[in-house]
Structure 1
Amino acid sequence: MAVVIDGGLPTIESDLAAYSTKFGLPQCTVASGCLTIKYQGGQTISPGADQAEGTLDIETIHAVAPKAKLLLYNVQKSSNALATGPSEIIKTPGLKAINMSYGFDRNTASQFASLYANNPNHVALIAASGDNGHVPGSFPASYPGVIAVGGTVLNHGVETAWSGSGGGSTTYAEPAGQKAYGVPQANGKRAVPDVAAVSGTHMSIFYQGRWNGMVGTSVAAPIWTGIAALVNKQLTPDLIYSVAKQHPDAFRDITSGSNGSCGFQCTAQPGYDYITGLGTPKNFVKDVNAMP
Structure 2
Amino acid sequence: MSCPHHQPDSRGEAIVRDEGAQLDFSSSMSYGDYLQLDAILNAQKPLSPDHNEMLFIVQHQTSELWMKLMLHELQAAIRHIATDDLPSAFKMLARVSKIMEQLVHAWDVLATMTPPEYSAIRPYLAASSGFQSWQYRCIEFSLGNKNAAMLRPHEHRPDLLATVEAAWRAPSLYDEALRLMARRGIAVPTSHTERDWTQPYQASEGVEQAWLTAYRQPQAHWDIYQLGEELTDLEDAFRLWRFRHVTTVERVIGFKRGTGGTGGVSYLRKMLDTVLFPEIWSLRTSL
Question: Considering only CA atoms, is the larger Rg found in Structure 1 or Structure 2?
Answer: 2
* Length-normalised TM-score, structure 2: 0.24
More strand, by proportion = 1
